[in-house]
Amino acid sequence: MGLSLRAERGIKLFFINRKLHRWFRPLSDTLKKLGYLIELSEWCERQTHAAIDAADAEFRHDKRYTLYEFLLANKGLDRPMDYLEFGVAAGNSIRWWVEHNTDTESCFVGFDTFTGLPEDWSGGFGKGAFSTGGKTPDVKDVRCTFRAGLFQETLPKFLETYQRTDKRLVLHLDADLYSATLYALAALAPYLRKGDMLFFDEFNVPLHEYRAFTDFLAAFGFKYRVLGAVNTFHAVAMQLE
């Protein structure tokens, strides 16, 4: 056993036996966020090949539609696809895709509680944020449906009858929360194939969507390529390889 391993084990036992968590607990969340922020920043630095709005530092939510337009024009997203959106709220994103992908074989399904976030989110919003009062978006297209409730309740029921075809599968992850994002990715892992796409809407929040994505990769080993990003990697699009 090397010196470094012995030292690490000694520090660990000292920490536990001396109950040092009582002293460090107030710093725990800050240190955890800092660690993931360092990893996130390193990850962003490596994405030099992606189409990114690096020249425009202004943050605007509507930039995500520029990213959508790029994907529609350059990545074949005007053709048949199964589009599953996790975190719908008022339905702006799913409505955009329904209106711009008019292929009759495309299918759009939105998953949300529609009563707001089920827990506080470190992105700055508390439990209940983004509620629509239980109302689903008014999208008048028979190809589009909604599943109301926690993903842990609605996604398994959806997958009981879901038949994967040759259509591209597109997952739009806009649930904000680590737990919800990781659950959706893990549940759909058996259905994902090369060429499928993952969209994230708050990717650069270190302890949530970014963390969920890295844990998903560690567990399932998918390879991917970043296609584009806006708002300093706030919204990101990837393709599985």
pTM of the prediction?
Answer: 0.91
- Quote the pLDDT of residue 116: 76
- Quote the pLDDT of residue 14: 85
Segment 92-108, tens digit of pLDDT: 999 999 999 999 999 99
Segment 121-167, tens digit of pLDDT: 776 787 877 788 888 999 999 999 999 999 999 999 999 999 999 99
First CA to last CA distance, the chain: 39
CATH fold of the domain at 49-240: Rossmann fold (3.40.50)
Res. 240 pLDDT band, cuts 50 70 90: very high
Give yes or no for residue 214 having a pLDDT over 60. yes
Please name the residue ranges forming H helices in 109-220: 151-161, 178-188, 211-220
Which ranges in the chain are annotated with CATH 3.40.50.150?
49-240
- Quote the pLDDT of residue 3: 60
Res. 191 pLDDT band, cuts 50 70 90: very high
Segment 36-91, tens digit of pLDDT: 999 999 999 999 888 888 777 889 989 999 999 999 999 999 999 999 999 999 99
Mean pLDDT of the chain: 92
* Distance between CA atoms of residues 217 and 26, nearest Å: 30
- Quote the pLDDT of residue 15: 87
Selection from 142, 83, 138, 78 nearest residue 110 by Cα:
83
Selection from 202, 178, 174, 204 nearest residue 112 by Cα:
174
